[in-house]
C-alpha cells in the first residue's frame, strides 16, 4: 500500500507541500476541508449567477494538484480547512474535490486513490458520472465522497456503500449482465449527447478508472488510446471492456499495472482533451 501513499505527478502539491501541514491527519477533517475547496462548474447552474466571472470557467481544466492549490492560495492564503468564501473556491468538478482529498491524504502518508464510476445518489433514478476517493484503513479500502455536504444523511460519506457508487468495472459488469439498465448511466439526465451516456460512457469511465488505479488521475474529458467519442461500441471494444472489467474486479496490483501497459489504455505523453461546455478539442502535453 506504500505506493498509494506516495504522490503521483498529478496529486503532488509541489511547492505548496508545506501549506498542507495545517490540515490534520484525520480523514474526516481532510474530507471536510476538500468539500470547501471547489465550486462545481455546472451542478449549481451557471457560475456567473453565483458571482464568478465567466473567464473563471477555464479553471476546470486545471489537472495538477499543485496548480489547483496554487490557485486556491492565490484566492485566499488560508490553508485548507479554514473558512472559505464561495468565490475563493476553485471552479471544478467531482474529480477536483477528489484529487485534492487524495493529495492531502498522501501528504500525510495515508494510502489513497481516485476512483471513477457512477453514483446513484445524485439524481434519483440515475447513475451519474462521478468521482470519489478510495482510502485505505486498517480494515480495507473505503469509498469517500468529498463533494457531499457535511449534513448529507443517506449514508456515511466516509464509507460510501458499494451499491451507491459503482466503480468503473462494477458499472460495466452490471450493465453488461442486465442487472443495470445502461440507459440509466449518464453524465447528466438532460445531456442528450450519445457518447456521454450508456455503454459508450461506461467504457470511457472503465478506462479512466484503470488509469486512476495506476495513479494517472486524468480529467474526465480526456481522450487517448482506444477512447473516442463514438456513440456505438464495436464488438472488439465490448470484448476488450469485458476483459478489463474482469481483471479490475480482481484488483491485483501487479495485474493492474501490467494491464495498463497495453497501448490502447496506457496514458501517452500527449492526450486529447474535450473541455466542456464548449467541447473544444485540444492536445495536451502532460508533465
Q: Which are the contacts of 244, defined by CB distance < 8 A and separation ≥ 6?
A: 169, 206, 207, 210, 259, 265
Tens digit of each residue's pLDDT, the chain (287 residues): 799 999 999 999 999 999 999 999 999 999 999 999 999 999 989 999 999 999 999 999 999 999 999 999 999 999 999 989 999 999 999 999 999 999 999 999 999 999 999 999 999 999 999 999 999 999 999 999 999 998 999 999 999 999 999 999 999 999 999 999 999 999 999 998 999 999 999 999 999 999 999 999 999 999 999 999 999 999 999 999 999 999 999 778 889 999 999 999 999 999 999 999 778 899 999 99
Distance CA 214, CA 209 (A): 9
| Contact (Cβ atoms closer than 8 angstroms) between residue 169 and residue 206 | yes
Among the listed residues 90, 101, 131, the one whose alpha carbon sits nearest the alpha carbon of residue 20: 101
* Burial (0-12, 13-18, 19+ Cβ within 10 Å), 188: middle
Domain boundaries, the chain: 2-285
Residue 143's DSSP bridge partners are 134
Amino acid at each position: 500500500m506504500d505506493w498509494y501513499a506516495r504522490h503521483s505527478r498529478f496529486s503532488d502539491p509541489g511547492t505548496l507541500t508545506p501549506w498542507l501541514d495545517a490540515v490534520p491527519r484525520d480523514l474526516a477533517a481532510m474530507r471536510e476541508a476538500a468539500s470547501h475547496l471547489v465550486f462545481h462548474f455546472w451542478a449549481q447552474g451557471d457560475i456567473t449567477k453565483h458571482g464568478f466571472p465567466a473567464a473563471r470557467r477555464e479553471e476546470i481544466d486545471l489537472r495538477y494538484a499543485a496548480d489547483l492549490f496554487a490557485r486556491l492560495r492565490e484566492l485566499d492564503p488560508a490553508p485548507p480547512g479554514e473558512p472559505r468564501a464561495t468565490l475563493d473556491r476553485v471552479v471544478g468538478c467531482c474529480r477536483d474535490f477528489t484529487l485534492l482529498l487524495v493529495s492531502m491524504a498522501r501528504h500525510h502518508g495515508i494510502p489513497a486513490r481516485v476512483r471513477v464510476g457512477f453514483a446513484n445518489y445524485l439524481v434519483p433514478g440515475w447513475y451519474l458520472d462521478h468521482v470519489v476517493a478510495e482510502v485505505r484503513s486498517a480494515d480495507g479500502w473505503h469509498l469517500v465522497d468529498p463533494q457531499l455536504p457535511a449534513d448529507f444523511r443517506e449514508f456515511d460519506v466516509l464509507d460510501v456503500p458499494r451499491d451507491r457508487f459503482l466503480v468503473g468495472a462494477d458499472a460495466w459488469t452490471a450493465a453488461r449482465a442486465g442487472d443495470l439498465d445502461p440507459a440509466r448511466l449518464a453524465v447528466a439526465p438532460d445531456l442528450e449527447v450519445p457518447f456521454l451516456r450508456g455503454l459508450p460512457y461506461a467504457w470511457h469511465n472503465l478506462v479512466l478508472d484503470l488509469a486512476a488505479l495506476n495513479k494517472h488521475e486524468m480529467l474526465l474529458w480526456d481522450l487517448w488510446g482506444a477512447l473516442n467519442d463514438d456513440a456505438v461500441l464495436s464488438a472488439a471494444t465490448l470484448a476488450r471492456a469485458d476483459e478489463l472489467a474482469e481483471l479490475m474486479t480482481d484488483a491485483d496490483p501487479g495485474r493492474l499495472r501490467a494491464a495498463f501497459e497495453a497501448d490502447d489504455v496506457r496514458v501517452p505523453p500527449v492526450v486529447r482533451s474535450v473541455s466542456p461546455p464548449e467541447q473544444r478539442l485540444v492536445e495536451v502535453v502532460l508533465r
